[in-house]
Structure 1
Amino acid sequence: MTDMAAGMLASATTVLKRAVELDMAQKQGEAVVCYQEGLQLLMDAIKNMKDPVKKEACRKKMLEYMDRAEQLKKQVEEEKAAEIYHEQIHIEDNSTGHSYQQLFGRFLDENLTEIDIDDPYVRSTPQIYNLLRFCEMVIKSKAQVKLIRLLTGSENEHGQNMSQKDKLGELARSLKNFKVTLEVSYSDTLHDREIRFNNGWIVKIGRGLDIYKAAEGKFSIGFCDLDLRQCRETTVDIFKSKNVKTS
């Protein structure tokens, strides 16, 4: 086996091992992606193999993985059709690569016109900046969003130049320039964190929009680009239903 083939085989083995772990954890959507990536690496490795015995053994293994990947892909499609699709993503502490675009971008299609955000902690300045970043992502997308509803907890910020309501009011006025209405209401008993898109997607995040740790400084990598910002540990549950009602 050439050094190139050996390297490709090692990479394929690592990815396929991860696919099996995700499969066993019943994370079908993520498992399918890993299977597909691992199979591509395995096919590339087989093309560079010289030993016919090793080549044939890898081909047989590849067929087994392909069969399982097809079964999972079919299962995910059936669940979507039956309106019971569920995907779970675990964000590890200090991990990166979890910008709002990565988490929510796929839900922002042409059918999306309204978004409901239930998050008790859109209060402090950093938390309101998170909402601002979320809104900027929505505006830049191909979605036709006209209304964003926010239900959050109220915060008494004594001694601050701008209160929570002042900051949210400024954001609402800015969104008006893009023909988007921001409706804000308050609840002191709200606990659950959930984002509902009226094209059928529901996203529940343990920490709501507040998943990022503070950057090391205002001139540090990750201050502007959230893909490079470290995260707090949390779980993201994604559901799909054709009968979602916005409140």
Structure 2
Amino acid sequence: MNIESTAVNILKRGVELDTKKRYTESLICYQEGLQILVDKMKGEPDENTRNYLRKKIEEYMNRAEAIKKLVLQQKENGQFHEQVHIENNSSGHSYKTLFGRFLDEDVQFIVVEDPYIRSFHQCQNFLRLCELSVRSCSNLRHIELVTTKDNKSESDQREWFSNLSNDLMKYKVKLVVKYSETLHDRQIILSSGWIIKIGRGLDFYKAPENKFCLGVYDMDLRPCHETTVDIVHSKNVKQSYG
């Protein structure tokens, strides 16, 4: 039976992530794999194969439901914590892959705290995050950046933020930039309660080897520095930042 090759690979990845307690990621794999199996079952003439598929679908569906409940319960109790370790020189870690699943219609504002959004490539990283957020969060109205001033190129930094701010207004999103000289935390706070803490902040990608290599534009192909990503959930975000 060749259902499966695609579905089975996705579902295996789901089980692997599930085992590592990376539940929100495993859920996406289970949902994708299940969809393939359901489509396959609908068009399957052989009754034995249909029964086999139905049994598999039920198994994975039950697990997916159990994970949904678990995540909900952990969020309620303020205990949700998912961790991703990015290894040195590994790839496959674009912002979309890492935390795009949390960028949805529930997000009305985003607060980015990162002391290193100063040099050109760091401001480009922030721009990438803004692009992804505007595309993914249909109700997004406000992005706040808290960073530090770049003494070397402060006027450039100001100009880049000004250009970005004007552009975001076309999408009815207001950008507010605040400067702090004492900022050490690096985190992305979503109004939906999700908080993404990246050890190195947004700047964990290595510089491309040249201007014509894979990974210049597709950040999933860009090698990374080692860092840890912690994802938690807080019910108090709206009160604090709203």
Which category of TM-score, normalised to the shorter sequence, fits these structures?
A: 0.7 to 0.9
Match of 2:222 in 1: 229
1:32-43 alignment runs, 5 A limit: 32-43=27-38
Aligned pair 1:8/2:3, yes or no?
yes
Which position in structure 2 is the counterpart of 1:94? 90
Identical counterparts, % of pairs = 40
Determine which of 141, 159, 169 is the counterpart of 1:170.
159
State the 1:233 CA deviation. Answer: 3.9
- What CA distance in whole angstroms lies between the structure 2 residues aligned with 1:105 and 1:29? 8
Query: Are the equivalent residues in 1 in contact too, given 2:110–2:188 (CA < 8 A)?
Result: no
CA drift at 1:56: 4.4
* 1:71 positional shift: 1.3
TM-score, normalised relative to structure 2: 0.73
| Consecutive aligned runs of 4 or more in structure 1 exceeding 6 Å deviation | none
Instruction: Give the direction of change, closer, same or farther, for the CA distance of 1:97–1:24 in structure 2 (3 Å limit).
Output: closer
Q: Deviations over 1:111-163 (max 9, x none)?
A: 5345141x343344322332333345456654111x523234x666xxxxxx2
Kindly indicate whether residue 23 of structure 2 is the aligned counterpart of residue 28 of structure 1: yes
Q: CA deviation at 1:228?
A: 4.2
- Please give the per-residue CA displacement for 1:75-122, whole angstroms capped at 9, x wherever unaligned: 2233334454433344454323614586357436475345141x3433
Structure-1 separation of matches of 2:210 and 2:44: 47
24 and 169 in structure 1: CA distance in 2 versus 1, 3 angstrom threshold: same
TM-score, L = length of structure 1: 0.72
Alignment of 1:1-247 (within 5 A): 6-44=1-39, 48=44, 50=46, 52=48, 56-57=51-52, 59-92=54-87, 93-96=89-92, 98-99=94-95, 103-104=99-100, 106-107=102-103, 109=105, 112-113=108-109, 115-117=111-113, 119-138=114-133, 142=138, 143-145=140-142, 148-152=144-148, 163-177=152-166, 178=169, 179-187=174-182, 190-244=183-237, 245-246=240-241
Calculate the aligned-residue CA RMSD, in Å. Answer: 3.5
1:176–1:38 Cα change, 3 Å: closer
| Length, aligned pairs only | 230
Q: Distance in 1 between matches of 2:73 and 2:133?
A: 29
Gap change, CA 1:66 and 1:139, over 3 Å in 2: closer
Deviations 1:182-204 (A, max 9, x none): 112223xx544212234422110
* Alignment CA distance shift 1:175-1:125 (3 Å): closer
The more displaced of 202-211 and 164-173 is 164-173
Counterparts of 1:176 and 1:218 in 2: how far apart (Å)?
27
Structure 1's unaligned 5+ residue stretches are: 1-5, 157-162
What 5-or-longer segments of structure 2 have no aligned partner?
none
CA gap 1:62/1:155 in 2 versus in 1, 3 angstroms: same
Which structure: larger Rg? Answer: 1
Deviation of residue 237 (structure 1)? Answer: 1.9
